[in-house]
Amino acid sequence: MIQQISTRDTRFAIGHGHGHGHGSDAIHTDPIYSYAVMQLHDDKGRTGVGLAFTLGEGTQLVCKAAEFYAQRLVGKSVEEIMADFGALQKSLADEQHFRWLGPHKGVVQLALASVTNACWDLWAKTRGVPLWKLLLELSPEQILATLDLSYLEDELTAQSALKILREHQPTRPAVAARGEEFPG
């Protein structure tokens, strides 16, 4: 059961080059590589960690939004959360108090990404397997339940996605064998 959440605003100055900073592009001339880090702490001492990449200022806003969303997970087991994660993601994105700030762009999207990544990480840790193996162990229906396809419905319905997942299920043993070659 998730007992506590925490966030961390982590920033890395990357130095300056000739005229532009390292890692700069046409728009971001002096980036600071940064991460909004979400941590979900469960009652067994495990921590799920999720990162959302940012560029410095504003990372604190992503952390605050992530805290807002993750607060709804406290008191729930990760198994309960992930059993119908797609519906949960949709309800979080449609949350009335933050919806006007997103949900499919900017601060809200990044905050939701950090929470989502932390949930997946904690789920894999709870099951004691790497994430790739967890995904291979899920049935097509279980995978579909983790997805919010609402923004894709014009092109990909739940039924079409399920058909694709079922069609590719026979390839899983080969994928698992390749994954076992790289245990770390």
Residue with tokens 């997946």, as numbered in its chain: 120
Instruction: Say which range, 13-17, 42-46, 103-107, has the weakest mean pLDDT.
Output: 13-17
Chain-centroid distance of CA 33 in Å reads 19
Instruction: Say which range, 46-60, 64-78, 97-111, has the weakest mean pLDDT.
Output: 97-111
- Return phi, psi of residue 40, to 5°: -110, 120
Share of the chain above pLDDT 70, in %: 88
pLDDT digits (tens, 9 = 90+) for 134-177: 999 999 999 999 999 988 888 999 999 999 999 998 888 888 88
Q: In the predicted model, what is the mean pLDDT of residues 7-28?
A: 68
pLDDT at 179: 74
User: What domains can be seen in the chain, in order of their start residue?
Assistant: 2-128 (3.30.390.10)
Instruction: Sort residue 46 into left (φ over 0), alpha (ψ -120 to 50) or beta.
Output: beta
- At residue 50 the predicted structure's pLDDT band, cuts being 50, 70 and 90, is very high
Residue 121 has pLDDT above 90, yes or no: yes
Enter the pTM of the model: 0.85
User: What angle is formed at CA 104 by the lines to CA 160 and CA 138, rounded to 5 degrees?
Assistant: 40
pLDDT higher for 153 or 46?
46
Tokens representing residue 44 in the block = 């067994």
pLDDT at 17: 52
pLDDT higher for 120 or 11?
120
Q: What is the mean pLDDT of the chain?
A: 88
Residue 128 has pLDDT above 90, yes or no: yes
Q: In the predicted model, what is the mean pLDDT of residues 8-28?
A: 66
Residue 79 has pLDDT above 70, yes or no: yes
pLDDT at 16: 59
Residue 99 has pLDDT above 80, yes or no: no
pLDDT at 56: 80
